[in-house]
Homo-oligomer: A and B are copies of this chain.
Amino acid sequence: MTSLPLRPRIAVVGSGAIGCYYGGKLAAAGHDVHFLMRSDLEAVREHGLTLHSVGAPAVHLPSVQAHGSTADIGPSDLVIIAVKTTSNNVLETLIPPLLHENTVLITLQNGMGNEDLLACHFGAERVMGALCFVCLNRVAPGVIEHYGHGTISIGEYRGQPQARTHAFAAALREAGLEVAVVDNLIGERWRKLVWNIPFNGVCIAAGGVTTADILADEGLTHLVRQLMRETISIAAAGGHAIPDSYIDFQFQRTHPMGAYKPSSLLDWWAGRPVEVEAIWGEPYRIGRSLGLDIGRLETLYFLLKKLTVEKPAS
C-alpha cells in the first residue's frame, strides 16, 4: 500500500463545486493544491477562488495554483477526482501525467463504479474513495456557495483504513472539515444509493416532482420502498449487508426535507448531464450479474436513460 508524504502535492481534477470546495479548504489550510481548470482558468488566475459558507466568513484565496492541463500540474502525491461521472471517459487520458509510482487517487464522485474504473486503469492499490454529504453550488467562475453540511466519509477501495487514510482524514480535519473514516467504503456507497436510486430516480421519472410529492403519493411511496429493497438485495448479494430497518430510517429522514429537489432532478431541469450510469446503470449491471430479479430498478434505469437525453419541456 502506497503512503502519503507529510506535505503531499495535491492535484484536483474536476474543478466544479465539489473540487473547488474541498481543494480550496485544503489550500486555505496551507496545502500545496493544484487545480485543473478549463472554462474557469482565466477567471481563477485573475481573481482567485472564493468559498462562501452560510453563517461563516467567506474564504478568499487570491492566488490559486490553476493549470490548464494535467501535464502542467505533473506528478503528484494525491489526486482528488471530482469530475462528474458523465465525463469519466476522459480520466484515462487526464490522469497519467499526474502519476508517479506512489500517487494515491481518491474519487469524490457519486454512485457506483468510479473506484472500479480507477482501479482498472491505474491499479487498485492506489485507490481511495469518499462520499461527500454537502450542499454546494458553483455560482460564478471560481465562486462556490456552500449551503450546508460538509461531512466527508473516506475509505479504502480495498480493505480497511490504512495510515494514508487517516493521514488524509487528519489533513481534511485540520482544514476545518468534518470527516469520517469508514471501514467499508463500497458498503457506504450502497447505503447512499438506497436513498439516491429511488428518490433521485422517481423525482425525474414521475415527471419532475419533489420528495414531498412522492411521500404524498401512496403508489410512489410503495415504489420507493420496493426500490430500496431491490438496492439492499444487490448490496447484500455483493457482501454488504444492510438491515431492513434502514428503509424506515431513510423515510424518517426524508420527511423533514420537505419539497426537496435531488441534484439529479436539478441537473435534468437545467439540461445538464444526469449521472444515470453511476447511480442506476452500474448498480443494475451488478445486480444482473449476480442473477437478481431487480425489475423496478431495470424499469427506472432504462426510462431514465431515455428521459435524460433531453432537457424536459417546461
- Contact partner, A299, options B223, B293, B306, B313, Cβ 8 Å: B223
> Are B219 and A301 closer than 8 Å at their CB atoms?
yes
> Are A307 and B206 closer than 8 Å at their CB atoms?
yes
Q: Given A205-B303, A306-B206 in contact, is the A230-B313 Cβ separation under 8 Å?
A: no
Contact residues, A25-77 vs B (CB, 8 A): none
> Are A207 and B310 closer than 8 Å at their CB atoms?
yes
Q: Distance in Å from the Cβ of A305 to the closest Cβ of chain B?
A: 5
Contact residues, A159-209 vs B (CB, 8 A): 202, 205-207, 209
> Are B209 and A298 closer than 8 Å at their CB atoms?
no
Q: Is the interface of A mostly helix, strand, loop or mixed?
A: helix
Interface residue count for A (Cβ, 8 Å)? Answer: 30
Q: Which residues of B contact A206 (CB under 8 A)?
A: 303, 306-307
> Are B298 and A223 closer than 8 Å at their CB atoms?
yes
> Are B230 and A306 closer than 8 Å at their CB atoms?
no
Q: Distance in Å from the Cβ of A56 to the closest Cβ of chain B?
A: 39
Q: Distance in Å from the Cβ of A299 to the closest Cβ of chain B?
A: 4
Q: Distance in Å from the Cβ of A197 to the closest Cβ of chain B?
A: 12
Q: Which residues of B contact A215 (CB under 8 A)?
A: none
Can you report 24 residue pairs joining A to B where beta carbons are below 8 Å apart? Answer: A202-B303, A205-B205, A206-B303, A206-B307, A207-B306, A207-B307, A207-B310, A207-B312, A217-B306, A219-B301, A219-B302, A219-B305, A220-B306, A222-B298, A223-B298, A223-B299, A223-B303, A226-B298, A230-B295, A293-B293, A295-B296, A295-B298, A296-B299, A299-B300
Additional A-B contact list (16), CB under 8 Å, known A209-B306, A295-B296: A202-B303, A206-B306, A206-B307, A207-B310, A217-B305, A217-B306, A219-B301, A219-B306, A220-B302, A223-B303, A226-B295, A230-B295, A293-B293, A294-B295, A295-B299, A296-B298
